[in-house]
Amino acid sequence: MKPTLKSATRAIAAGAFVILAAACVTPPPAQAQITYQTERAAHPNMARAIDEMNAAYRDMEAAPAEFGGRKAQALQALRTAIIAARRALYYRMNLDDNALWRAP
* Predicted confidence (pLDDT) at residue 97 exceeds the cutoff of 60: yes
* Predicted confidence (pLDDT) at residue 17 exceeds the cutoff of 90: no
> Whole-model pTM above 0.75?
no
pLDDT at 33: 85
b/e per residue 22-47 (b: at least 16 CB within 10 A): eeeeeeeeeeeeeeeeebbeeeeebb
What is the Cα–Cα distance from 77 to 85, expressed in whole angstroms? 12
- In the chain, domain spans: 36-102
pLDDT at 20: 56
Nearest CA among 78, 81, 83 for reference residue 100? 83
CA distances (Å), origin 85, targets 55, 95, 98, 104: 14, 13, 14, 12
pLDDT confidence band for 103 (50 / 70 / 90): confident
